[in-house]
Amino acid sequence: MESLCRFTLQEFIARAQDGSRLAGLLETRLVAAGYPVTEGEYRSWQNSLSALAGLLSGTSLDPGIQVGLEVRMPLSGRRADVILAGAAGLVVLELKQWRQVSPSSDPCRVMTRTGGCLQAVLHPCLQAAGYVSELASWNQVLQERALSLHGAVWLHNMDRQQGELPLEVPGSGSVSLFFAGDGGALIRCLQSSLGPAPAGDLLGLLQSAPVRPGPGLRRLLTDMIRPETGGSSGLPALCQPLFAQILSILKDSRPSLMVVTGGCGTGKTALALQLLFHCLHAGQSCLLTFGTAGLRHYMRDQLDTAGGLPPAVFQTLQPLAVFGPPVHRQAEVILVDEAHRLTRRDRPILPAKAVLSPDLDCCLRAPMLDWLADQSRHLVLFLDESQRVSPDDGCTLADIRRCVALHNRTHPQRRKTLRELPPLRMQLRCAGGAGFPAWVDKVLDRAGEPLQSTDAVPVCSGYEFHILPTPQAVVRALDRKKAAGDSVRLCAGRCWPQSRQKPEPEGRGFHIGPGFRGIWKTDCRQAPAPAGYRLVDSVQDIQGQEADWTGVFIGPDLVYRHDRVQTDWRARSVSDRLMGGLQARVRLRMEEQEEADDVIRNTYRVLLTRARKGCFVWCADRALGRHLQALFAPAASPSSASLPGLPVSAGRETGDRN
């Protein structure tokens, strides 16, 4: 917890009478710390803080009560508007200058005009409740002193009859909502919650407090792990030795950077989650972040569906963006899943007015990997270089070694030990067998010998693989599996451009021949596709995730020519940002051609290994479809036979290119 400005109540009232003066002070400190300040944010400080000062002046509140402005939360880095601290407890106060609010279709959000347009924003009571929960769960001083903690929201520009804001919202706890005419009620709430002025610098003590999980969270996690054996109820036996080795390293006070490698479906995410639970149970501050936003939301949804987890666990699942400047973390352990999506090219965007100290200026221009190494005692990276699907995905084992060497040179007092741990080799997808992933690796291996039909890799019992003649056949197969109660995902290489025609939904639809209309997923929590369209995941939407059955459209960027599987970077859509603009160039240098070739092969390596039970594939290149069918046919068994009414493409292939 960190506040940009701390005052006594008397000092705050004196400074905030002139809203511009206090807003200017906040802007100066925020910009110096590396945060940009928008014009709307500056105006909100002017209006809201002066309104609060006017309300608090002349009241019976102790003038020694402490006031913190723009207080940063310990884990998420989000900033609460105001925190008031008294001897009896703390109040987290959110100030809103909204004039009109109405309900939205989502009960957790409301509609209001912000940023010049009408938008759905988080209900302010839920916003304040989130701050209260995060402080209560992660601030050690609050836990030790058993201070009371309350939340309140004041809409100082709106009367009750001016908006339709629902007063009751699930999950807001005891947060109180006050309108413009409720000033007296807000004062009484503060008086009862704060009491007299605290002894000493309570806000300063809270700010310097270690970030630690509270005892309540640790008790709730007891049922999820087996602390007496050091093992985990959620990991296969093959993972246990590596899991125990990592736990023993985490108990060591000497800083370390660990690298856990493993291919698709080898249990990297499951291992990361169990490490998170064990660290929290042991009282260590631990964060889990992901290389893609889609995986983070997918994991939150999976844990939410499973149920039984307190909100504090979800607060540890952080996007990579919060690790950027100037959030100096106190987390003892940071776990990074899909670490291959980190890039050496990442640079934080600095505001134009930023005036930085030389030390901070140097840190701000360090890449994300160096930031993570600098902000944690123990950093655990889960890495699979074969899943690098963009030229910007620059985190390799060689990168990590250079990062540790640089860190140890520049931080000799906090040297880190690099530990390259044994790789994960089990297979949790593809019906639990390594046969199909190994076969995919051989098919997509650029340097290996061309595969013949005699090189087919037997697929383990229970896993199915089908080459189908049309995109529509893939869709029908998935619909049948979905009707049977299984989870399904449809994905494709991004070779078909978005249509800009007005009849297309939001300009994001695309066609494959005359019979298939798809819409590219643009948000990790996107609503279902419009009627007549199928929602299609590209590789960044599905990486790290899985389903019972997947459908894969292999685009014209992967072809079979001269007895080899080859790539064509020109066939990628110009709107595919993962290619880094390579597909739009007329010519590529040799190293760029190899980079584009790796990206395309890794894209289909990821797409083809997302399923637990089976995969349906359509190939835009007919020759590639025949080649894959010839390779797979000798391995066919009763368990991998085609579905009734869905022939494994035995000849006719009508893959229209667009």
Which band of pLDDT confidence, cut at 50, 70 and 90, is reported for residue 639?
Answer: very low
Is residue 347 scored above 50 in pLDDT? no
Which band of pLDDT confidence, cut at 50, 70 and 90, is reported for residue 647?
Answer: very low
| pLDDT digit string, tens, across residues 400-422 | 898 899 889 988 888 999 999 99
**C-beta of residue 531 within 8 angstroms of C-beta of residue 555:** no
Is residue 273 scored above 70 in pLDDT? yes
Classify residue 537 by its DSSP letter.
B
Helix, strand, or coil (residue 68): strand
Note the pLDDT of residue 603: 92
Mean pLDDT taken over the chain: 79
Is residue 629 scored above 90 in pLDDT? no
Note the pLDDT of residue 295: 76
Classify residue 563 by its DSSP letter.
T
Helix, strand, or coil (residue 415): coil
The residue with greater pLDDT, 629 or 468, is: 468
Note the pLDDT of residue 201: 87
Question: Which range among 81-95, 248-262, 278-292 shows the weakest confidence by mean pLDDT?
Answer: 278-292
| pLDDT digit string, tens, across residues 369-388 | 877 888 788 999 999 888 88
Answer yes or no: same fold for 215-226+238-348+362-424 and 434-631: yes
Rounded mean pLDDT of 582-597?
A: 78
Pairing verdict, β 516-520 and 534-536: parallel
Note the pLDDT of residue 651: 36
Q: Rounded distance, CA 278 to CA 144, Å?
A: 22
CATH topology for the 215-226+238-348+362-424 domain: Rossmann fold (3.40.50)
Q: Rounded distance, CA 578 to CA 597, Å?
A: 13
- Compute CA 27 distance to the chain's CA centroid, rounded to the nearest angstrom: 29
* CA dihedral angle for residue 241, residue 246, residue 250, residue 253, rounded to 10 degrees: 90
Tell me the domain boundaries of the chain. Answer: 5-208, 215-226+238-348+362-424, 434-631
**C-beta of residue 629 within 8 angstroms of C-beta of residue 479:** no
CATH of 434-631, one of 3.30.430, 1.20.120, 3.30.70, 3.40.50: 3.40.50
Is residue 37 scored above 60 in pLDDT? yes
Is residue 266 scored above 60 in pLDDT? yes
Cβ neighbours of 81 (radius 10 Å): 23
Note the pLDDT of residue 293: 73
Note the pLDDT of residue 128: 92
Rounded mean pLDDT of 594-617?
A: 90
Burial class from Cβ neighbours inside 10 Å (0-12, 13-18, 19+) for residue 139 reads buried
